[in-house]
Structure formats: C-alpha cells, structure tokens
Amino acid sequence: MENMEKLKNEAMEYQMKGKFKAALQSLKKILEIDPEQPIIRYQLGDLYYISGNIAEAIRELERVTQEQPEFIFALYKLGIAYFRATKFSKAIESFQKVNDIEPGLNMAYYWKGLAYYHTGSLEKSIDCFKKLEEIKPRSTLGNYYMSVVYKARGEYKKSIECLEEILEENPELVSVNYHLGRAYEGVKDYEKALDCFKRVIELDPEHKDAIRRKKELTGEDEIFGIYGEPLD
C-alpha cells in the first residue's frame, strides 16, 4: 500500500515536470499491483492522450468506461480521443452518454456539434451549438461554430448574426472578422465584406487570405473588379 502511494506521487511529480514516459511507467506499475483501479487507468488514458498516443488512450479509456459506464470524465476524454482519431460516430456516442448523465455539461455539446459537422449532419450540428448557447448564452464557441455550419449550409444571414454577436463582445477576433467577411460575400454585400477584410489586415497584417480577398474585391489582382464583379 505504501509502495502504491509512492508510485502515485512519483507519477504526479513526473507529469508536472513533463516527463510523460516516466509518469506512464509509474501508473502501469500501480495497475500491475492492483488492476482494479479505474481512477489510475483513467489517468493512464489521459496521460497517453496528452503525450500524443491516441490509440493507447482510446484503449485504456474504453476499458474504464466498459467497467464503469457512468464514469463521466472518462467518457468525455474518450469522446475527445475518438474525435482526434477522426472516429466521429464513436465520438458522438460518447458525448451523448456524457449528456445523458449530465445534461448541463456544455462542452460535450460543443464537441458533439463538431463531430456531427464532420459527419455531414449539419442540422444536428446546429442543434448542438444551439444547446450550447442555451446553456451558456453568448457563448463565443457556440456562436462561432454555429456560424461555420450555417455558412456551410449557405445560410449566410444566420452566419452573420452569430458572428456579429461575438464581435459585440470582442471586436478584435481575427478569425471572426474574416469569416464575417466571407459571410457578407455570400449575401453579395461586398462593401461590408471589404470592410471586414480591411479590419482583419489591421489586426493581422500578414493574413494571406484576407489580403487576397481584399485584392479580389478591389480589383488589385486584375482578375476581379470592384466588389468582386468580373472585369470585361
């Protein structure tokens, strides 16, 4: 028992120092002494994830959730690991289990929304981000990714509403200003789109996409005329 406590302390100390291999070895030694340690196995899976070994992280976390189906932290981390491994359907299942146990865990809706987006289920993706916004009003994450999905669906006006709400809180977010410009292009409001791209360049003078869009809208690239109208 004393040896296990020593190993736990060692694992924590190694992890804090960024010595992940040594921390992993300490955790494995604990499980050799007593395999029925779900917290330790969860920590092992989490550490595999942190160190970039997603396959081993999934293997350990799956074992935890099989033995303890309502271990919410393991389910949540497993969902993220599945997402990183591009196993989006499995990620959705895992995050759904999280929300079945804890409906108010907003970040599970965020990840689930992203996973649905990658499977092409855009309506379900939007529903997740709406739920995130419902739990956490004016959520930057929720509005941002909801805008991305709306834009992917060609619903540019709704995308604009989401992005403008974010900018009311923080007008200096570069990616939000850029996507707002693209959404304005979608509704053919080229003047507002140009203003957005100029704002992006003010904030980030090296933003290649914004520079390119500005050139296209002003005719500087000799392909498009003012506000994107083709030159004769």
CATH architecture of the domain covering 1-85: Alpha Horseshoe (1.25)
Instruction: Give the model confidence (pLDDT) of 37-64 as tens digits.
Output: 899 899 999 999 999 999 999 999 999 9
Q: Tell the residue number behind the tokens 């959705």, with chain if given.
A: 92
Q: What angle do CA 70, 111, 62 make, to 5 degrees?
A: 40
Domain-wise residue ranges, the chain:
1-85, 103-171, 173-232
The set of residues, in sequence order, having a beta carbon less than 8 Å from that of 34 and lying 6+ positions away, is: 4
Distance, in Å, from the CA atom of 101 to the CA atom of 96, rounded to the nearest integer, reads 9
CA dihedral 170, 178, 199, 193 (to 10 degrees): -120
For residue 39, the Cα-to-chain-centroid distance in whole angstroms is 25
Instruction: Give the model confidence (pLDDT) of 158-176 as tens digits.
Output: 999 999 999 999 999 999 9
The CATH code of the domain at 173-232 is 1.25.40
Q: Residue 71 — φ and ψ, nearest 5°?
A: -75, 90
Report the mean per-residue pLDDT for the chain.
89
Q: Please give the average per-residue pLDDT across 67-72, as a whole number.
A: 95
Distance, in Å, from the CA atom of 210 to the CA atom of 232, rounded to the nearest integer, reads 24
Q: Residue 138 — φ and ψ, nearest 5°?
A: 60, 35
**Which own/partner contact pairs does 37-44 have at CB distance under 8 Å and 24+ positions apart?**
38/64, 38/67, 38/68, 38/71, 38/74, 40/8, 42/71, 42/73, 42/74, 42/77, 43/11
Which one has a higher pLDDT value, 213 or 221? 213
Asked if the domains 1-85 and 173-232 are classified in one and the same CATH topology, the answer is yes
Instruction: Give the model confidence (pLDDT) of 92-140 as tens digits.
Output: 999 999 999 999 999 999 999 999 999 999 999 999 999 998 998 888 9
CATH architecture of the domain covering 103-171: Alpha Horseshoe (1.25)
Neighbours of 86 (CB within 10 A): 11
Is residue 69's pLDDT more than 60?
A: yes
